[in-house]
């Protein structure tokens, strides 16, 4: 087929431009010269269409063309053109759900708004005995006017009929496939419910529930391991929501919801009964912190008169800050970079609450600013030792637990709690403004801490190595390096910048 001939499919559809391509098909925007309308033409390469399979394709085409739903991309026809099979479909201008997910986890209201129309479309085709079999974010379209439509219905069937894939090949996308799709036998609507639950999990967590190097490895996880628990990826998720998703992703089709709409209804009821998940996340983080035992890594308190050890200056750009693990917006701090990246450690003993923070005087000694109704912080001279003058030391978090708590509180929306764990230098990065801290961290939705460990201890504090993945509204930050922890009031640890570097992916 020459290039000029390829621009006119089946003597009727004039190609306008290519919209995309995959391993077995290419999609074109085309003009139907007979009906004078725009259509999407999906050309499946190398289809083996015999007289027998042609009859089955015609039967399938009639079924697909008979399906009408506002949230379903209409299949107009299936035709053969030389060695190619063409699926002629409604053209939808917009973006895919996969592109929406690239911006990070979604709020539950947005997730339900996007997936409820998908569930309605699936229920409609299931009533007609049709199973999608390859539901995934890339074939769910969000039109420019906001309407959500399910695409590629019948594509898996067409590929199977025309033997595009080798005998015994698994049809579908592994990350969203139900385990029974790897076994011989007819697929039921339960495979689409499994895929929808997986998509909902990804929307709410920003990550797929399963991963692996091969199709079989991914499907083995679905068969041999329990379904992923959203609460491990999104703290504060109501239990009913996590359980509904685990039911939907069960390895046994009989355990799944009986319809796609039932799955979405259970998710909606779970979130509404739980009052959302943001406030619950903060409570859960505090509970985790209280239950975690303190590690025996705490160094002996440094005397107040001990001199601070200067750190060598680092010529780093503004993103080389501890706070870059939370937000790229701190790069606007500008003038404080030299202090954060190469200044001296802040002296311990300064209060770290929003109303009473330690401020450096020209001489470098701390000056206490008392808040109303609060006893002023003593001067640098320690009180005389006496059994009655020293109150019992409160139970404090370890250095590593403090770092974890700092990040988790911010990710859970507990900005005041995170601010209380910020040391003087960290606070100066935000102009000593808790409101600015809150505003610049508001895009953070989830953080996964892959490693946190004390690598150095001295009289001034502890250096903590950390590796994390922070998911924001519009990007994902991969961060590694070190933070500094110093002593605050009551011997508790406070988090300070040191040498953390982040790379962002959008």
**Shortest CA distance to 160 belongs to which of 134, 180, 179, 199?**
134
Residue 283's alpha-carbon distances to 237, 407, 444, in angstroms, are 11, 14, 17
Indicate the pairing of strand 37-44 with strand 25-32: antiparallel
Which three-class secondary structure string do you get for 10-49?
CCCEEEEEEEEECCCEEEEEEEECCCCEEEEEEEECCCCC
User: Under 8 Å CB-to-CB from 233, ≥6 apart: which residues?
Assistant: 204, 205, 206, 207, 446, 448
Spatial separation of the C-alpha atoms in residues 488 and 459, rounded to whole Å? 13
Choosing from 32, 84, 134, 152, the catalytic residue is 134
Task: Identify whether the C-beta of residue 494 lies closer than 8 Å to the C-beta of residue 352.
Answer: yes
Spatial separation of the C-alpha atoms in residues 231 and 277, rounded to whole Å? 10
Quick check: is 416 catalytic?
no
User: Under 8 Å CB-to-CB from 329, ≥6 apart: which residues?
Assistant: 440, 443
Residue 361's alpha-carbon distances to 316, 369, 428, in angstroms, are 26, 12, 13
Q: Which residue has the tokens 């309605």?
A: 120
Q: What is the dihedral of CA 261, 73, 222, 252, to 10 degrees?
A: 40
Query: Which residues belong to the active site?
Result: 134
């Amino acid at each position: 087929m020459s290039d000029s001939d390829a621009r006119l499919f089946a003597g009727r559809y004039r190609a306008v431009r290519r919209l995309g391509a995959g391993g077995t098909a290419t999609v074109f925007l085309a003009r139907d010269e007979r009906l004078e309308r725009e259509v999407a033409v999906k050309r499946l390469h190398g289809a083996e269409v015999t007289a027998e399979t042609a009859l089955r394709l015609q039967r399938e085409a009639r079924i697909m063309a008979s399906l009408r739903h506002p949230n379903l991309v209409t299949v107009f026809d299936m035709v053969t053109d030389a060695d190619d099979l063409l699926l002629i479909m409604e053209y939808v201008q917009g973006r895919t759900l996969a592109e929406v997910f690239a911006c990070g986890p979604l709020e539950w209201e947005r997730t339900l708004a996007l997936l409820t129309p998908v569930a309605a479309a699936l229920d409609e085709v299931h009533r007609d005995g049709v199973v999608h079999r390859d539901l995934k974010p890339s074939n769910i379209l969000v039109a420019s006017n906001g309407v959500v439509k399910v695409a590629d219905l019948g594509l898996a069937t067409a590929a199977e009929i025309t033997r595009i894939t080798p005998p015994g090949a698994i049809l579908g996308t592994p990350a969203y496939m139900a385990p029974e799709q790897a076994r011989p036998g007819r697929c039921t609507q339960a495979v689409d419910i499994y895929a929808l639950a997986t998509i909902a999990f990804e929307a709410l967590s920003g990550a797929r529930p399963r991963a692996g190097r091969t199709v079989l490895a991914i499907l083995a996880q679905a068969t041999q391991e329990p379904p992923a628990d959203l609460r491990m990826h999104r703290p504060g998720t109501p239990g009913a929501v996590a359980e509904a998703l685990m039911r939907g992703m069960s390895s046994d089709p009989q355990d799944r919801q009986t319809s796609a709409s039932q799955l979405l209804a259970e998710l909606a009821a779970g979130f509404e009964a739980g009052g959302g998940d943001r406030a619950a996340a903060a409570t859960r983080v505090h509970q985790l912190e209280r239950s975690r035992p303190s590690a025996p890594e705490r160094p002996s308190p440094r005397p107040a008169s001990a001199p601070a050890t200067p750190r060598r200056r680092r010529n780093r750009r503004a993103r080389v800050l501890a706070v870059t693990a939370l937000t790229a917006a701190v790069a606007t701090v500008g003038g404080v970079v030299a202090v954060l990246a190469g200044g001296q450690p802040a002296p311990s003993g300064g209060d770290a609450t929003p109303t009473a923070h330690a401020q450096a005087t020209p001489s470098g000694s701390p000056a206490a600013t008392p808040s109303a109704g609060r006893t002023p912080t003593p001067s640098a001279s320690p009180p005389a030792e006496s059994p009655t003058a020293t109150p019992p030391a409160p139970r404090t978090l370890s250095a590593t637990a403090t770092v974890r708590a700092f990040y988790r509180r911010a990710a859970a929306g507990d900005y005041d709690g995170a601010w209380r764990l910020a040391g003087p230098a960290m606070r100066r990065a935000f102009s000593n403004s808790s409101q600015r801290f809150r505003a610049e961290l508001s895009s953070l939705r989830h953080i996964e801490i892959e490693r946190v460990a004390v690598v150095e201890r001295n009289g001034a504090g502890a250096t903590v190595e950390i590796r994390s993945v922070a998911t924001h509204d519009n990007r994902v930050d991969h961060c590694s390096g070190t933070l500094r922890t110093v002593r605050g009031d009551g011997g508790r640890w406070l988090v300070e910048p040191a040498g953390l570097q982040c790379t962002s992916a959008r």
